[in-house]
A and B are shown apart, each in its own frame.
Chain A
């Protein structure tokens, strides 16, 4: 894909303004950071509205602007199913984990797993898994910054990756969680404004009657679109296990992704945690449905205008569309919004990686170190992590959303399962969790190395226990339908076959659910583990069926 051809000064100026405001907010917010708790969890003082807005910008990374549009163009209906599931997954996160995690009073996901199961080894394993999923997630987002710089300025993607990476590293290092939270709130407002208005302009240019409300404003374009692209809204008939894998990956992946969970440790109490999720899911849905409109408008535009854009350039489609159909001002606004979206997600990920290394790894190895020194080390660690991620991102994935999907799958099996069972089943112990999270994460990681990193055809990967069944469009997603059930089954079965956890660990479950007293019978029945095992086995069996019915 060729760059735009000339330096887009207005877009550059607005992007720099967003970057400068972000750094300024961090410097301003630094005054609130007095100790380690302030640095990592903002003194647990964030309200529901502020946290909800901050979560929106975490959820709406640059992949929403760029990757989703590309996936809609590539995958049509599955892309919508994927994001529908991702939107609903926030409520899943709230129902299964959010308020309970807040009552646990940990700093991070890794600390929760370690303290809930009474194991330092699990803390180290979960830090390792966290680093893998965070780097995968970051790689996609930093590539997105590179895409913006390349298309608008003609400079190599690497320049955008380095510049964007350094700026966000700077403001995360300076401001800690206070800075990240206020920045994310600011960036949410910026990105909602910078997405809704330009898309409305595009829809108006295409002739949509309801252009002023993009989520549903393109409905009257559908008949025209059906003429231009007759199959566009037909749901693709892939094996249903693909949709189940998407469900497992998004619902348990979001619980396992530590930068989402970490937001709940910052709020005042469980009530604020709950309501912040409702605010978040409403706004995330609003933006996601607007992005669907962008993808459809792009497809409609391509087909009606007879423009053939190569698949490799689909990640640029938002900007191509705005460039062609709206004024330069709207394009510049969308560019600034994209930069804001990228920064917010990268900031959240950098913070959790720094917290994981210093709070969960270094502090465990050197418990005698005082908080003041840890705080200084946190600043240094955050900076080093930022630089390392920039280096990793120099060889980014082909499509940015694919890296994110892999990280969701690995996070679901490696971290999501132990969190959910740790909250809802007292009998879960460190042996079960160790077995489940290691094997589950390895299955997801194995799939990513073979398919995502080495680029092998899923059907021909070595040790083809299930490889035969990874056929069809986005067939590799199905590996999540193996990794998550295996993680559940191993955790439950091994926990059952080994001694129950000590009483003080089981008491944490009642405390997390808000009980003042303790009762051994609560959250300790056989119904949940049996249901989990039955459903897990059914899902794995289902994947091996209907091989001849669906496309290869």
Chain B
């Protein structure tokens, strides 16, 4: 494998891996992070009375903190990142791969 070829190969693998991790976090795991870290960041833990009142004994909830455009922050980030965020990441990856493809052809 020539140096140029190795460089292109590494670029393809690493750009793809980084983009996948970003998309997985923003689209896939983000909700989970919010849920786990919510109490730590916003320090608002529902009382047992609230739990029973809203969900019965079978579910727990965590209360939200900041708001953006009227939405709770976690919700706003989730929908924006899983939509506009991943679209931008996808477009950047496409541009990199288009250039790589031109190099491979050359």
Contact = CB atoms under 8 A, between A and B. Distances in A.
A237 B62 contact: yes
Given A282-B87, A513-B12, A91 B23 contact: yes
A91 B83 CA distance: 10
Interface in B46-75: 46, 50, 54-55, 57-64, 67, 69-72, 74-75
Contacts of B61: 231, 234-237
Given A271-B98, A288-B83, A223 B70 contact: yes
B60 A292 contact: no
A220 B72 contact: no
A368 interface: no
Nearest to A235: B35
Nearest to A518: B1
Interface in B1-33: 1, 5, 9, 12, 16, 19-20, 23-24, 26-32
Contacts of A87: 27, 82-83, 86
A1 B31 CA distance: 33
A231 B54 contact: yes
A329 B95 CA distance: 43
Given A234-B64, A236-B59, A92 B24 contact: yes
Contacts of B27: 84-85, 87-89, 91-92, 247
Interface stretch (A272-280, A381-389, A454-462): A272-280
Given A285-B83, A513-B12, A233 B71 contact: yes
A81 interface: yes
A301 B64 CA distance: 22
Contacts of A230: 54
Interface stretch (A7-15, A106-114, A194-202, A238-246): A238-246
Contact of A95 (B16, B46, B59): B16
A215 B79 CA distance: 9
Contact of B23 (A88, A231, A270, A473): A88
A277 B83 contact: no
B55 to A, nearest CB: 7
A238 B32 CA distance: 9
A244 B29 contact: yes
B5 to A, nearest CB: 7
Contacts of A377: none
A515 B70 CA distance: 50
A251 B28 CA distance: 8
Contacts of B58: 472-473, 551-552
Contacts of B81: 84
A155 interface: no
Contact of B94 (A84, A235, A240, A275): A275
A285 to B, nearest CB: 3
Interface residues of B, number: 58
Contact of B90 (A94, A216, A289): A94
B83 to A, nearest CB: 3
A94 B82 contact: no
B56 to A, nearest CB: 9
Contacts of B75: 77, 80, 233
B32 A240 contact: yes
Interface string A58-88: 0000000000000000000100110011011
A95 B60 contact: no
Contacts of B28: 85, 88-89, 92, 243-244, 246-247, 250-251
A202 to B, nearest CB: 17
Given A80-B78, A95-B19, A219 B12 contact: no
A292 B75 CA distance: 11
A522 B1 contact: yes
A270 B101 contact: yes
Contact of A243 (B9, B32, B79): B32
Interface in A254-287: 270-271, 274-275, 277-278, 281-282, 285-286
A395 interface: no
A138 to B, nearest CB: 26
A234 B36 CA distance: 13
A418 interface: no
A221 interface: yes
Interface string A4-43: 0000000000000000000000000000000000000000
A519 interface: yes
Contacts of B72: 222, 233
Contact of B87 (A84, A96, A244, A281): A281
Given A80-B78, A84-B82, A274 B63 contact: no
A139 interface: no
Contact of B60 (A81, A236, A514): A236
Given A84-B31, A244-B32, A91 B90 contact: yes
A243 B23 contact: no
Contacts of B100: 514
B71 A243 contact: no
B60 A277 contact: no
23 contacts: A80-B78, A80-B79, A85-B28, A88-B23, A88-B24, A88-B27, A89-B28, A94-B90, A94-B94, A234-B46, A235-B35, A235-B74, A236-B59, A237-B59, A237-B62, A238-B60, A243-B28, A243-B31, A271-B101, A282-B87, A288-B83, A289-B83, A551-B58
In the A-B complex, the 9 residue pairs with the smallest Cβ-Cβ separation, listed nearest first, are A88-B27, A285-B83, A247-B28, A219-B70, A84-B82, A243-B32, A81-B31, A237-B60, A231-B54
Given A96-B16, A472-B58, 9 more contacts: A77-B75, A88-B82, A91-B19, A92-B23, A237-B61, A237-B62, A240-B35, A243-B35, A271-B101
